[in-house]
């Protein structure tokens, strides 16, 4: 005779209360709030002042003879640049039945808040990369008076760039340190400011992490392991940031299509440590903190009753403007790996 009682008689499967699995990206993979400083603003739109740089790099002082006037000059300002903080929103509705029927460890209000927040962060990353990580935007790499994007294996004789750079950084015979040195020097020669931040796509970061020339530079350090901090020291910048965010570009209901949001590229840039008067930066991000209830990123989360739906709505918003300020303060690198 069969053993009585059976396993199904004495145990009914139910969700574990001490474990749940959600593929929530680490916020460290997002770079939209790390590269350029956020400028807190009280109004959705306004203007800002730009001092024309040419006047500040001319030496006009001259010897002054007794009883004569000194040499004088002045400078120009441009008060027409402006920002406008677009407001982005997303929500999830938590209906009464969902909340009532949810088993532990599901907390639908907590999960909805996390889901809404991550969606907004992804959108902010999309806007950041779409604004700053694109070709023909930056003017820091100049050859014979013409600005170009930089590729370490350039071979375009018509533009005078044949053989510029030491080759694809995926090759151990390439010269990434020398390439970056040359680019830093080139930007400073145009602007007076040396780039202080290097943003790498994750594939480029891993290629450099295992590059022979970089391993040779750090082999006598205490750790002997390449980190972003050591890489920053090797390249002579203050920070190396890695863009590691992943996006599913497929529509809901379709098979997922996951890809890195930034690949095979880098941005070498001067980013001001913080916004200030008389301080340049390649870019600034204006965050509408004056919006009622907004946080540092111009962000806010609201929860309110939708009685007609018999549900509570968890709604998130972000209001920001990503502005290119100094195009000559950056170099965009493309086709870095073979």
pLDDT of residue 177: 94
Number of domains in the chain: 1
pLDDT at site 219: 81
Of 175, 184, 186, 195, whose CA–CA distance to 144 is shortest?
186
pLDDT at 100: 85
In a domain, 7, yes or no: no
Q: Is residue 152 part of a domain?
A: yes
Pairing of the two strands 86-95 and 50-51:
unpaired
What confidence score (pLDDT) does residue 148 get? 92
In-domain check, residue 226: yes
Q: What is the CA radius of gyration of the chain?
A: 26
Q: Does the residue 24 lie in any domain?
A: no
For residue 275, what are its two tokens?
């916004």
Cα–Cα distance measured from residue 92 to residue 274, given in angstroms and rounded to the nearest whole number: 35
CB atoms within 10 A of CB 123: 16
Q: Give the number of C-alpha atoms closer than 13 A to the C-alpha of residue 85, restricted to the C-beta side.
A: 28
pLDDT, position 144: 85
Does any domain span residue 65? no
| Helix or strand (DSSP H, E) at 331 | strand 330-334
**321 lies in some domain:** yes
Q: Which three-class secondary structure state does DSSP give residue 95?
A: strand
Query: Could you tell me the end-to-end alpha-carbon distance of the chain, in angstroms, rounded to an integer?
Result: 69
- Contact of 169 with 207, CB cutoff 8 Å: yes
Domain-embedded: residue 324: yes
CATH number of the domain that residue 157 is part of: 3.90.1690.10
pLDDT per residue of the chain (338 residues) written in tens, 0 to 9: 566 665 665 555 566 556 556 667 778 889 999 999 999 999 999 999 888 888 877 888 889 999 999 999 888 988 999 999 999 999 999 999 988 888 788 888 888 999 999 999 999 999 999 999 999 999 999 988 899 999 998 866 556 667 678 899 999 889 999 999 999 999 999 999 999 999 999 999 999 999 999 998 888 776 668 899 999 999 999 999 999 999 999 998 999 999 999 999 999 999 999 988 888 999 999 999 999 888 888 999 999 999 999 999 999 999 999 999 999 999 999 999 99
User: Parallel, antiparallel, or unpaired: how do β-strands 283-288 and 38-41 relate?
Assistant: parallel
Is 23 within the bounds of a domain? no
Give residue 207's domain range: 29-55+73-334
Q: Is 288 within 8 Å of 225 (Cβ atoms)?
A: no
User: Are β-strands 45-47 and 82-84 bridged in parallel, bridged antiparallel, or unpaired?
Assistant: antiparallel
């Amino acid at each position: 005779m069969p053993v009585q009682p059976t396993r199904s008689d004495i145990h009914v499967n139910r969700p574990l209360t001490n474990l749940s699995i959600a593929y929530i990206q680490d916020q460290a993979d997002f770079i939209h709030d790390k590269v350029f400083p956020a400028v807190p603003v009280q109004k959705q739109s306004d203007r800002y002042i730009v001092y024309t740089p040419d006047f500040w790099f001319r030496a006009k002082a001259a010897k002054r003879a007794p009883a004569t006037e000194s040499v004088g000059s002045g400078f120009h300002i441009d008060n027409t640049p402006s920002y406008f903080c677009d407001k982005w929103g997303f929500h999830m509705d938590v209906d009464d039945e969902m909340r009532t029927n949810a088993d532990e460890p599901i907390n639908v209000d907590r999960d909805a808040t996390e889901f809404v927040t991550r969606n907004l962060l992804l959108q902010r990353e999309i806007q950041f990369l779409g604004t700053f990580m694109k070709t023909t935007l930056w003017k820091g790499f100049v050859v014979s008076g013409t600005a170009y994007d930089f590729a370490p294996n350039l071979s375009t004789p018509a533009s005078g760039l044949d053989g510029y750079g030491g080759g694809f950084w995926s090759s151990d015979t390439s010269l990434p340190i020398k390439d970056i040195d040359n680019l830093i020097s080139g930007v400073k020669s145009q602007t007076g400011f040396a780039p202080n931040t290097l943003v790498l796509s994750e594939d480029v970061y891993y290629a450099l992490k295992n590059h022979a020339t970089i391993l040779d530079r750090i082999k006598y350090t205490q750790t002997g392991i390449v980190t972003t901090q050591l890489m920053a020291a090797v390249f002579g910048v203050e920070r190396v940031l890695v863009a590691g965010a992943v996006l599913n570009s497929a529509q809901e209901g379709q098979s997922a299509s996951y890809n890195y949001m930034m690949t095979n590229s880098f941005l070498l840039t001067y980013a001001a440590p913080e916004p200030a008067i008389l301080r340049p930066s390649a870019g600034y991000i204006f965050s509408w903190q004056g919006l009622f209830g907004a946080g540092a990123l111009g962000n806010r989360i609201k929860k309110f009753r939708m009685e007609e739906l018999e549900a509570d709505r968890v709604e998130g918003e972000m209001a920001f403007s990503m502005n290119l300020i100094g195009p000559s303060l950056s170099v965009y690198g493309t086709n870095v790996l073979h």
